[in-house]
Chain A
Amino acid sequence: MDTLTAYPLKLDGTDVPMVRFMNVTKKYGALTVLENLNLDIAEGEMVSIIGPSGSGKTTVLRMLMLEQINSGVIYVDGRPLTHMNKNGALVPADRRYLRTAREPIGMCFQHFNLFPHMTALQNCMEGPVQVLGLTKREARERSEELLELVGMSEKRDQHPSRLSGGQQQRVAIARALAMRPKVMLFDEVTSALDPEVIGEVTNVIRKLVSEHSLTMLMVTHQMGFARDISDRICFFFGGRIEEQGTPDELFGNPKRERTQQFLSAVKSAD
Chain B
Amino acid sequence: MAYLEFLAEFGSRFLDGSLITVAQFLLSAALAIAIALGFGLLKLARHWVVRGVATLYIELFRGTSLLVQLYWIFFVLPLFGLTLEKFTAGFLAVGMNLGAYGAELVRGAVRSVPKGQWEAAYALSMSPARRMWRIILPQALVIMLPGWGNLLIELLKATALVSLISVTDLMFEAKQVNSTTFLSIQAFGTALVIYYVFARFLLTPAMRRLELSMARRIGKA
Contact = CB atoms under 8 A, between A and B. Distances in A.
B77 interface: no
A105 B114 CA distance: 22
B209 to A, nearest CB: 18
Interface residues of A, number: 27
A102 B127 CA distance: 12
A53 interface: no
Nearest to A96: B127
Interface stretch (B19-27, B32-40, B49-57, B133-141): B133-141
Given A117-B218, A159-B218, A159-B219, A65 B123 contact: yes
Interface of A: 65-66, 99-100, 102-103, 105-107, 109, 111, 113-117, 126-127, 130-131, 159-162, 175-176, 179
A179 B125 CA distance: 9
B126 A113 contact: no
Contact of A113 (B117, B127, B142): B117
Given A99-B125, A131-B125, A113 B116 contact: yes
Given A115-B117, A117-B218, A130 B138 contact: no
B124 interface: yes
B219 A126 contact: no
16 contacts: A65-B119, A65-B123, A99-B127, A102-B123, A103-B125, A106-B123, A109-B119, A117-B142, A117-B218, A117-B219, A127-B125, A130-B124, A131-B125, A131-B126, A131-B130, A161-B218
Contact of A130 (B116, B126, B219, B220): B126
B120 interface: yes
A130 B130 contact: yes
Which of B121, B134, B219 has the most chain A CB atoms closer than 10 A to its own CB?
A: B219
Contacts of A115: 117, 120-121, 135
Nearest to A131: B125
Contact of A66 (B114, B122, B127, B138): B122
Nearest to B134: A130
Given A111-B116, A113-B117, A66 B135 contact: no
B124 A179 contact: yes
A56 to B, nearest CB: 18
**Interface class of chain B by DSSP:** helix
A27 B32 CA distance: 43
B117 A107 contact: no
Leading 5 A-B pairs by shortest Cβ distance:
A161-B219, A159-B219, A113-B120, A127-B124, A113-B116
Nearest to A107: B123
B132 to A, nearest CB: 12
Contact of B217 (A107, A117, A162, A179): A117
Nearest to A106: B123
Which of B123, B135, B142, B219 has the most chain A CB atoms closer than 10 A to its own CB?
A: B123
Given A111-B116, A117-B138, A130-B134, A161 B122 contact: no
Contact of A131 (B124, B139, B217): B124
A159 B220 CA distance: 10
Given A66-B119, A130-B134, A179-B125, 15 more contacts: A99-B122, A105-B123, A109-B120, A113-B114, A113-B117, A113-B120, A115-B117, A115-B135, A117-B142, A117-B218, A117-B219, A131-B130, A160-B219, A162-B219, A176-B123
B221 to A, nearest CB: 9
A35 to B, nearest CB: 24
A66 B217 CA distance: 29
B124 A126 contact: yes
A127 B126 CA distance: 7
